[in-house]
Structure 1
Amino acid sequence: MQYFKRLKSEIDPTPFLDEINGVANAWDASTGRQDKIAVQREAKAIPLRGLRKSAIGGRKRCDVHDSRWTTGSQNYPLARAFLEDFAREQDSILGRGKIVCLPAGKRVYPHIDRGQYYRVRNRYHLVLNSALGSWMKAGDEEVRMKQGELWWFDNDQMHEANNDGDQDRIHMIFDMLPRHLAEEVLGTAA
């Protein structure tokens, strides 16, 4: 496979799911993903890291490299620690990240993540909840990501997801910039 790579398995999702369940109305606090991104309209999200709006300066959102922890991410210290630890392990700089729920019978429609932000970053999925395995397609390849697995995938390819199970599919989805690209992309050695 060239568009998917399983990096880890047997990660215990229970602490992350407990953290989400411990926050009242966690899935209702932010509706930007389903309200503003047509291909994501059936998914719910908890933003952990987002673009630094003050850095937009006339650029398209998909071309803004600066990101920051969201205020709401303080409710998810285990998720934050996981992201920070994995970024160190990969010698990378965290970009945007979120916890995403795709309810049973719903889908993410085919799309390519466009813009300069996405061209230089790696995209990852940590599967927190998926009874049947999470079906996903990128290019001409299809996978079923299992609960507790961490995957890299190539979001430069046309990709889509479908929850054909009978319970919510929950993933932590995040981007990382390889540290060796920091000066070229961010204008500073990080």
Structure 2
Amino acid sequence: MRLSRPFFQLPLLFDVARLQAEVAALPPEAWVAHPDQVPGNSAARLISVDGAETDAVHGRMAPTPWLEAMPYLKQVLAGFGVVWSRSRLMRLAPGAGVPEHADINYHWHTRVRLHIPVLTWPEVRFHCDGEAVHMGAGEAWVFDNWRRHHVENNASGERIHLVADTTGTAAFWRFVQAAPPPRAQWRKVGWDPNADHPLLTEVNPRSPIMPAAEVQWLLDDLRAELVAAVDGPEAPARIGRFGQLLECFALDWRQLCALHGVDGVAASEFQRLAMAIREAARPLSEGLVMRTNGVSALLVLEKRVLQHLVAEDAARQREGLS
């Protein structure tokens, strides 16, 4: 999610000893390799689709057995009063890191990642858009993951963060963006055996066809970030041609939605239109990138929009093909 600055620290302090004790009690089989096989990166899934061992982001989210075995950590999440999407404990081995990247996928357009360090060291640094911070154990942070960011663990011990995804309520965002009081006045959030906050989790099934209004919204946002990687006299014309292509696509998608609806009827027609825009975009997008992070405009179009226009499995079921 795009934010007004790279980092926000929330004025909260959690019980580090209790967090560490619950995480230390996890069995070795709770930890799995990073889905992209990034060396030295592993995770324990806490909230996932159906509470299962999966990294999917579409579906009914639920706590995993690992989270159910950690009452304080579950209480920490529930206490924010927001709806949580996929959430994990993220572990970095000594000397490992997270390579520089920007989160451009559809999932991240409306979601932010809350970080609560559980086990960390002064040598661990989180970099985002030229700024670097050390997130201390028991603190709470969010950051702008649309900007380029990376993490370095130069310590001799492993680093473990609770990393939880949410869109956030209005109250959550007011809290994040408010000027924090002096650290001595930050709220200490300990274990409360009488707390009864429910853990709210997403019900996020994938629509068979992406609605026209959402397509327009995503494309308008992409167009607002368009710049040429190398400025020159031809840059405005190239940006204009690519922007016009996106606008024409949005209009044609709206017409198909008006004709067929979005429940998967005539999915093949939507797929043909998506394939046509993919082919047309390749030459027109050459040399165009996102202003904030320098990522290829074509890659963002693919990852944020095109891959999510038609849910193929749902479409096949609707048309009786599976």
TM-score w.r.t. length of structure 2? 0.47
Of 7, 18, 24, which aligns to 2:27? 24
Deviation, structure 1 residue 79: 1.1
State the structure with more CA Rg: 2
1:41 is aligned to 39
2:141 is aligned to 151
Residues 1:79 and 2:78 aligned together: no
2:161 is aligned to 171
1:58 is aligned to none
Residues 14, 139 of structure 2: 8 Å contact kept: yes
1:136 is aligned to 126
How many residues were matched structurally?
168
CA–CA separation in structure 1 for the residues paired with 2:59 and 2:108: 9
Query: What is the aligned-residue RMSD (CA, Å)?
Result: 2.7
CA–CA separation in structure 2 for the residues paired with 1:51 and 1:154: 25
Which has the larger share of strand?
1
Q: Deviations over 1:7-50 (max 9, x none)?
A: 0354221111101222332xx3342x42x314x43212111012
Which has the larger share of helix?
2
CA–CA separation in structure 1 for the residues paired with 2:51 and 2:22: 27
For structure 1, the 5+ residue unaligned runs are 55-60
Aligned residue for 1:178, secondary structure, equals coil
Runs of 4+ in 1 over 6 A off after TM superposition: none
CA–CA separation in structure 1 for the residues paired with 2:163 and 2:13: 17
Aligned residue for 2:167, secondary structure, equals strand
CA–CA separation in structure 1 for the residues paired with 2:104 and 2:60: 16
Aligned residue for 1:101, secondary structure, equals strand
Q: Deviations over 1:117-143 (max 9, x none)?
A: 211012111011112153111222211
Residues 39, 96 of structure 2: 8 Å contact kept: no
Residues 1:2 and 2:5 aligned together: yes
Q: 1:114 to 1:147 in 2, by over 3 A?
A: same
